[in-house]
A and B are shown apart, each in its own frame.
Chain A
Amino acid sequence: MLLKLTVNNRKLELSVNDSMRLLDILRDELNLTGTKEGCGIGECGACTVIMNGQAVCSCLVLAAQAQDAVIETVENLSNDTRLSVLQEAFLTSGAVQCGFCTPGMLMSAKALLDRNPDPSEEEIKTALEGNLCRCTGYIQIIEAIKCAAQKMKNLKEN
């Protein structure tokens, strides 16, 4: 099938197999390997990307479902020299251990902060409930998201 979609602000037309998963399109066709496969059945959240504003498991999205979609992956968060506020907060809060869940965590967190710039701890925990992390115990990740929200608020107010 011919798939038209926007990935990280780039409009693309790709010829792909209908049964391909969005995850494979990103990793194999577009070489965006920042998005990880942890389970392949939507249980772990490592492959989370933002699709039309929503955090989704890209292993559960088939090519046809991504028609005309706007996709954002971890590669879009920073430019060459600067990390985003959210990434910077992960760095300073010690929220990265092995790093395999990190891209998915970042995308779930970004989707949350995009729609709710001032989330409570409960809302953060709920937004991350589909993202497994086996290293950190989540505490430093939750802390990082709180810090990022605060920093974004300060930036906006100034």
Chain B
Amino acid sequence: MNYARKVDARAKLDGSCKFLDDYSYPGMIHGYICYARFHHGIIRKIIFPSDFNLSEFVIVDYKDVPGSNIVPEPEKDQPFLAEKEILHWGQIILGIAHPDRELLKKFISKIQVEYSNLPALIDMHECLDDEQNIFGKEITIDHRLGLTIDPSWIRTRGIYYTPHQEQAYMETQGMIAIYDPDASSMFIRGTMQCPYFVKAAVEAIMGKTVAETVVETSEGIGGAFGGKEDFPNIIAGIAALLSYKSKKPVKIVLDRSDDIIITTKRHPSRVEIETFTNPAQKTIEKMTIDYRLDAGAYQTLSPVVLARGVLHSFGAYQVKDVFVRGRLLRSNTPPNGAFRGFGAPQAVFAIESHIDKIAAQLDLDPYDFKKINLLHSGSQMPTTQKIIDDHISDCLERVIANSDYQRKKDEFAIYNQQNRDKKGIGLAVCFHGGGYTGNGEKVLRSKVRLRIEKDARIRIFVVNTDMGQGAYTTLAQMVAESLDHPLELTSMELPNTSRAPDSGPTVASRTIYIVGNLLRELALDIKKSLAGSSLSTYVKTNPEMFPRDYFREFSPDPSVTFDEESFRGTGYRDYSWAAAVCEIKFHASTYHIEIRKFWNVLDIGRPVNIGIACGQVQGGNVQAFGYALTEFFQKKKFGRMHGFTDYTVPLSYDIPEIFLEFIHTDSPLAKGLGEIPMDYPAAAVRNAFHNATGIFIDEIPLTPERIFNQLRNQK
């Protein structure tokens, strides 16, 4: 385990690190977008304001697209620029550029889009409750054994809802495009997670008009959390189009309110679970899950989110007879996309709330009930994947001990009898599959490149970006440690598609787990070739061999198979495991839940950098506290949120004490970490509220308004 300092931190502390808006190029002009301010309709006419000199502006619409107007990744159904029909508020109609950004914004604010209105579906409950809205391909996991339901079995049913969640990265979306007509090339610089997705998008929109596209990230990427997985494709395409038409470098940086209104969010979900539990054995015999996501107006990433959601929906439990059905529903809201967890936080909230409900019906402590039903070595998931260790039980036992769960529970029961305010303690467990779902990594076949220079410096060429999660440090560490080489002589190059091979997107908790381990294997191979000497010595004694490039491609484990139709097989080769305990206080006069303490125990294999790992857990937890308590996106009568005044993310004084422990750290394998700390806290908070008050609330966020209404309805 290593405590190395982050290699990129110094430049971020002295203000010298360049984020996208800090770049400037000679002759650069500003680009922006004009988007629909209605939910559904047909564009009739676009009227430009008459008090501006139109010839000063560069304007592009769908007719200017020389290539394809359909974003190529991931599901091919979303246009870059709207043609006739608008399917959601925020759908981009025009790209516009001008040297003066303020004038540009004024001009855009005065553009009138005339349209005829069509009926729109914007409420998440209306969308999710109505099966008429299903679109795309359904996923089922059918592990039914045809069990006859015994009359003694306890039936438990619940419908669990989760809302949109905004990534709220601090740096808004932005992209610079530089078209060079002489070289017929397009250079793109942006704040993004997936440079090769952006490259594919620009190649698609520009078609044959551009011979070469190169994508490079900005030096700093001001947070992403999934929000910069697929949306950058669209603005990169529009920036490229504007640069092509104007023959000037064009920079688009979104204002916060536009960024919040038009970009992707976490999918709202409705998960219905029905279980039958044997009251004598206290075992769950049968489970049926209907997992639904509001995809928004286009499918885009949603089928992939659905797949992960479904594969996490049954929870870390051994159940004999399971049937899961996963479906996408269409609404007239911007397409929902990637956000840390990727379908798993919705799934975990539902299953962990449900397990709490069964335990209450059986009059058992959730801990005792979980212990009986948890997956263990030799047990099988509904996908037929065999579990090979007891690490989830180990996480649970440790977190119970660390939090002094039993004593607290007894103490709170007494406190609650004597006080109007209530204290509660709640539990949640979960797993998170590392890397792409199913055969994804097999198809991706990530490639990495290392270059060893004449002075024994190692340069790492991959396209995985550091959006704050510490990839530039951890990847360099994995290479340096494998070669016993100083970290100071090992560095990540800025991701650039002309220099780095396609090591795949920076998503799915795969950067360390897939790309890092691939780099590690390559470094270990190099070490073997050094005939026992150190790299520095070897380079010195064999100067003719350097500089030299080394490559490696991901080779899938042939024993790992997954059937995309039946969803049987190995959903994920390796899982990270976690258990958490949450302590809350419910303030009876304000209906406010205060999270007081939070304990995490995780198995992520070997943490590469313990400081960075702790930061990931704390940051992920706090995003999840916002998800649990304050963050929601729709205001029924007034539309959507548009800033940090109405969309309230946690602040410095909302933070409880957070405790964390990593177990099984002696494992040789570094597994995924980025997402799992986001998956389980919402359920732990909800279960703690149930422990405090005896009330089940099956929808987050647990705002004072929701709690007030629920209490009123129960009276």
| Contact of A48 with B by CB under 8 A | no
Which of the listed residues B12, B225, B612, B644 has the most CB atoms from chain A within 10 Å of its own CB? Answer: B12
Q: Which residues of A contact B612 (CB under 8 A)?
A: 94
Partner among A132, A136, A141, A142 whose Cβ is within 8 Å of the Cβ of B649: A132
Which of the listed residues B14, B171, B619, B645 has the most CB atoms from chain A within 10 Å of its own CB? Answer: B14
- Expressed in whole angstroms, the Cα–Cα distance for A131 and B650 within the complex equals 11
A77-B14, A97-B468 in contact; A134/B168 too (CB < 8 A)?
yes
Q: Which residues of A contact B170 (CB under 8 A)?
A: 36, 38, 44, 46, 98, 100-101, 132-135
Residue of chain B at shortest CB distance from A131 = B652
Cβ distance A87 to chain B, nearest Cβ, rounded Å: 4
Which of the listed residues B11, B14, B170, B645 has the most CB atoms from chain A within 10 Å of its own CB? Answer: B170
A33-B15, A43-B643, A97-B469 in contact; A129/B653 too (CB < 8 A)?
yes
Q: Hey, what's the 0/1 contact readout for A88-106 against B, CB within 8 Å counting as 1? A: 0011101011111111001
A94-B612, A135-B619 in contact; A100/B653 too (CB < 8 A)?
no
Which of the listed residues A73, A100, A101, A138 has the most CB atoms from chain B within 10 Å of its own CB? Answer: A100
Residues A139 and B618 in contact, CB atoms below 8 Å apart = yes
- Expressed in whole angstroms, the Cα–Cα distance for A136 and B643 within the complex equals 20
Q: Which residues of A contact B256 (CB under 8 A)?
A: 38-41, 43-44
Q: Hey, what's the 0/1 contact readout for A75-86 against B, CB within 8 Å counting as 1? A: 101100001000
Q: Which residues of A contact B643 (CB under 8 A)?
A: 39, 41, 43
Residues B653 and A126 in contact, CB atoms below 8 Å apart = yes
A35-B15, A41-B643 in contact; A99/B8 too (CB < 8 A)?
yes
| Contact of B223 with A by CB under 8 A | yes
Q: Name B406-420 residues within 8 Å CB distance of A.
A: none
| Contact of A53 with B by CB under 8 A | no
Residue of chain B at shortest CB distance from A136 = B619
Partner among A37, A132, A139 whose Cβ is within 8 Å of the Cβ of B651: A132
- Expressed in whole angstroms, the Cα–Cα distance for A46 and B421 within the complex equals 37
Q: Is the interface of A mostly helix, strand, loop or mixed?
A: loop
| Contact of A128 with B by CB under 8 A | yes
Q: How many A-B residue pairs have CB under 8 A?
A: 166
Partner among A32, A78, A133 whose Cβ is within 8 Å of the Cβ of B13: A78
Q: Which residues of A contact B467 (CB under 8 A)?
A: 98
A38-B171, A39-B644, A134-B168 in contact; A99/B14 too (CB < 8 A)?
no
Q: Which residues of A contact B611 (CB under 8 A)?
A: 94
Residue of chain A at shortest CB distance from B625 = A137
Q: Which residues of B contact A36 (CB under 8 A)?
A: 19, 21, 170-171, 222
| Contact of B658 with A by CB under 8 A | yes
Residues B225 and A134 in contact, CB atoms below 8 Å apart = yes
**B contact residues, total (Cβ < 8 Å):** 54
Cβ distance A96 to chain B, nearest Cβ, rounded Å: 4
| Contact of B221 with A by CB under 8 A | yes
Residues A34 and B644 in contact, CB atoms below 8 Å apart = no
Residues A97 and B619 in contact, CB atoms below 8 Å apart = yes
Q: Name B638-658 residues within 8 Å CB distance of A.
A: 643-645, 649-653, 655, 658
Residues A91 and B5 in contact, CB atoms below 8 Å apart = yes
Residue of chain A at shortest CB distance from B23 = A33
- Expressed in whole angstroms, the Cα–Cα distance for A126 and B652 within the complex equals 7
| Contact of A6 with B by CB under 8 A | no
Residues B255 and A40 in contact, CB atoms below 8 Å apart = yes
Q: Which residues of A contact B622 (CB under 8 A)?
A: 136-138
Residue of chain B at shortest CB distance from A75 = B15
Partner among B9, B21, B620 whose Cβ is within 8 Å of the Cβ of A90: B9
Partner among A38, A73, A103, A135 whose Cβ is within 8 Å of the Cβ of B468: A135
| Contact of B664 with A by CB under 8 A | no
Q: Which residues of B contact A4 (CB under 8 A)?
A: none
Which of the listed residues A44, A101, A128, A133 has the most CB atoms from chain B within 10 Å of its own CB? Answer: A133
Q: Name A41-68 residues within 8 Å CB distance of B.
A: 41, 43-44, 46
- Expressed in whole angstroms, the Cα–Cα distance for A152 and B5 within the complex equals 21
Q: Hey, what's the 0/1 contact readout for B580-617 against A, CB within 8 Å counting as 1? A: 00000000000000000000000000000001101100
| Contact of A71 with B by CB under 8 A | no
A38-B172, A39-B644 in contact; A98/B223 too (CB < 8 A)?
yes
Residues A103 and B644 in contact, CB atoms below 8 Å apart = no
Q: Which residues of B contact A100 (CB under 8 A)?
A: 19, 169-171, 220, 222-223
- Expressed in whole angstroms, the Cα–Cα distance for A83 and B5 within the complex equals 14
Q: Which residues of A contact B169 (CB under 8 A)?
A: 98, 100, 134
Residues B6 and A32 in contact, CB atoms below 8 Å apart = no
Cβ distance B494 to chain A, nearest Cβ, rounded Å: 15
Residues A139 and B9 in contact, CB atoms below 8 Å apart = no
| Contact of B557 with A by CB under 8 A | no
Residues A74 and B21 in contact, CB atoms below 8 Å apart = no
Residues A99 and B222 in contact, CB atoms below 8 Å apart = yes
Cβ distance B94 to chain A, nearest Cβ, rounded Å: 22
- Expressed in whole angstroms, the Cα–Cα distance for A139 and B172 within the complex equals 23
Residues A136 and B223 in contact, CB atoms below 8 Å apart = no
| Contact of B65 with A by CB under 8 A | no
| Contact of B687 with A by CB under 8 A | no
Q: Which residues of A contact B220 (CB under 8 A)?
A: 98-100
A101-B170, A135-B468 in contact; A34/B14 too (CB < 8 A)?
yes
List 8 extra interface pairs beyond A43-B645, A134-B619, A135-B468, CB under 8 A: A35-B15, A100-B220, A126-B652, A129-B651, A134-B169, A135-B615, A137-B622, A138-B650
Can you report 18 A-B residue pairs in the complex whose CB atoms are below 8 A from each other?
A43-B645, A44-B644, A46-B170, A74-B13, A77-B13, A78-B13, A87-B13, A90-B13, A91-B5, A97-B470, A98-B222, A98-B223, A100-B171, A131-B652, A136-B619, A137-B658, A139-B618, A140-B614
Q: What 6 pairs across the A-B complex have the smallest Cβ distances?
A: A34-B15, A99-B12, A98-B468, A100-B222, A137-B622, A97-B468
Binding site for A on B (CB under 8 A): 5-6, 8-19, 21-22, 167-172, 220-225, 255-256, 467-470, 611-612, 614-615, 618-623, 643-645, 649-653, 655, 658
